[in-house]
Amino acid sequence: MRRLCLWKPHVKKNVPDPHLPRIPQYEGSPGWLLLTHNEANQPVAIFVDMKDRQTVLPILLDERLFSDTVFRVVQLEPTVFLVCDIRYLNGRCVYERLPYTDRRALIETLLHEFHGTDLAALISYNDVPTTAIVRGWEQYDERPGTMGVFIPADE
């Protein structure tokens, strides 16, 4: 998985575009959620934080998604993860093929159709707890594979 997906951010600091919508970026532990198979060919969900620490998560998710799917997530609570973006879906790079709005729609569909929140909860922006703290804002254009722009909350 490490060879498949480099752990690099999807946003950079830059001049914001006043015409693009802003998406909140929340405080928490950012990282990647890897859905793959272990050596025994069993599906496994692994959270990798920005310091490359790996945590295996118990999760209720359709096994068909465990063929090298990679989500960009923020761990809001020990078992609550905000799914911010998707890089790979079953080994295919959707980040470079779909614009951000289409990737968001894909995430909403996948979570609605294939995920149960009883163990580790994967949530979308619509389900973020009201207690979550906004760290800043992200903006994305409509071109596939482009980096977003990060705007700190204090600007």
Total-model pTM: 0.88
Which residue's entry shows tokens 């096994």? 63
Beta strands in the chain (DSSP E): 11-13, 23-26, 29-37, 43-49, 54-57, 60-61, 69-77, 80-89, 92-93, 115-116, 121-123, 134-139, 148-152
pLDDT tens digits for the chain (155 residues)? 555 555 555 666 667 788 888 999 999 999 999 999 999 999 999 999 988 899 999 999 999 999 999 999 999 999 999 999 999 999 999 999 999 999 999 999 999 999 998 999 999 999 999 999 999 999 999 999 888 888 888 86
Which neighbouring-strand residues pair with 31?
49, 73
Which residue's entry shows tokens 């078992």? 79
All structural domains of the chain, each given as residue ranges with its CATH number in brackets, are 27-129 (3.30.470.30)
Which neighbouring-strand residues pair with 23?
138
